[in-house]
Amino acid sequence: MTSKKPRRLIVGDIHGCADELAELLFRFKFMPGHDSLFTVGDVVGKGPKTREALELLRQFGARSVLGNHEHHCLTAAAIPAAKRTERQKQYLASLEPDQKKWLDHIAAWPLYIEEPDLIIVHAGLDPAASRLSDMRREITTTIRTWDGEGKYLNRPDRDPPWFECVDPGKTVIFGHWAVRGLVDLPRFKGLDTGCVYGRELTAWCPEEKKFHHVAARREYAPLVKD
């Protein structure tokens, strides 16, 4: 037993970077059954070890929200095999040999997780929704900027970031915006620091009010603005 208080660790976009995830948990001295683990989604896709990342998170009892890349897996699985694109086939192959098990697992991930003091969401909150439960999937998994109506969600040159357009009354922890990188505002913590692009994996601990970073072992994918 330990006298240390339980801590929560919320991990940014992992994208199959299981080695960096393992190093992060080791360096944090994460204690399963005592500390709590969360991710902002986009655990899958692009990187080298999707299955290993999912398995590690499952072993540590992590709770995740749905990212656009998990949604991509679910979409791929829902269409006939003969009609799948190469990218869709790759995503499904990355879940083998237990593809069905992981698809069922991912399908249960919520759009957001609400704690007494914070909200975890993949891309951001829906500024048009008056309640969290009214938020639309397309927005929570893909928003970067807000145009006032939700037609364009990624126009950084024209529109403000979504987090300048909401007032949730709690700290919001999110990912999805590797091009922008770390966001460290009092109410908003953006954790996508592009590990899969060769930068770093980032997590936030609310109890310590501190970020934890692990350098990427290499560049696994080119940075593309999707």
**Residue ranges binding Mn ion (CB under 5 A):** 42, 67-68, 176
Question: Smallest distance, Å, CB 4 to Mn ion?
Answer: 33
Neighbours of 186 (CB within 10 A): 6
Question: Smallest distance, Å, CB 2 to Mn ion?
Answer: 35
Contact 43, 15 (CB under 8 A): yes
Please give the Cα distance from 76 to 89 (Å, whole number): 7
Question: Smallest distance, Å, CB 145 to Mn ion?
Answer: 14
Neighbours of 164 (CB within 10 A): 12
Q: CB nearest Mn ion: which residue? A: 176
Question: Smallest distance, Å, CB 46 to Mn ion?
Answer: 10
Q: Which is nearer to Mn ion, 35 or 65 (CB)?
A: 65
Ramachandran class of 70: left when φ > 0, alpha when ψ lies in -120 to 50, beta otherwise: alpha
Q: Which is nearer to Mn ion, 30 or 44 (CB)?
A: 44
From residue 195, give the alpha-carbon distance in Å to each of 20, 68, 84, 154, 180.
Answer: 8, 17, 28, 21, 13
